[in-house]
Chains A and B, each alone.
Chain A
Amino acid sequence: EAQVTQNPRYLITVTGKKLTVTCSQNMNHEYMSWYRQDPGLGLRQIYYSMNVEVTDKGDVPEGYKVSRKEKRNFPLILESPSPNQTSLYFCASRPTGGNTIYFGEGSWLTVV
Chain B
Amino acid sequence: DQQVKQNSPSLSVQEGRISILNCDYTNSMFDYFLWYKKYPAEGPTFLISISSIKDKNEDGRFTVFLNKSAKHLSLHIVPSQPGDSAVYFCAASLYSGGGADGLTFGKGTHLIIQP
Complex contacts, B46 vs chain A, CB 8 Å: 100-102
Which of B36-44, B54-62, B67-75 is found at the contact surface with chain A?
Answer: B36-44
Least CB separation from B6: chain A residue = A42
Pairwise interchain contact B105-A42, C-beta atoms closer than 8 A: yes
Which interface class (under 10, 10 to 19, 20 to 34, 35 or more) fits B? 20 to 34
Report Cα–Cα, A90/B43, bound state, in Å. Answer: 7
Which of B41, B43, B97, B100 is most buried by chain A, counting CB atoms within 10 A of its CB? B43
CB within 8 Å of B: which A88-112 residues? 90, 92, 96-106
- Is A99 a contact partner of B93 (Cβ separation < 8 A)? yes
Partner of A106 from B36, B43, B105, B108 at Cβ < 8 Å: B43
B43 near A99: Cβ-Cβ < 8 Å: no
The count of A-to-B residue pairs whose CB atoms sit within 8 angstroms is 61
Do B43 and A43 touch (CB < 8 A)?
no
**Which of under 10, 10 to 19, 20 to 34, or 35 or more describes the interface residues of A?**
20 to 34
Say whether B32 contacts A42, CB under 8 Å: no
Q: Mark B78-115, 1 if CB is under 8 A from A, else 0.
A: 00000000000101010111111111111110000000
Residues on B lying within 8 angstroms of A by beta carbon are 6, 9, 32, 34, 36, 41-46, 49, 89, 91, 93, 95-108
14 contacts between A and B (CB under 8 A): A41-B107, A42-B89, A43-B108, A44-B105, A45-B102, A58-B102, A90-B44, A97-B97, A99-B34, A99-B49, A99-B99, A100-B49, A103-B43, A103-B44
Which 5 A-B pairs have CB atoms at the shortest separation, nearest pair first? Answer: A103-B43, A42-B107, A43-B105, A97-B98, A100-B46
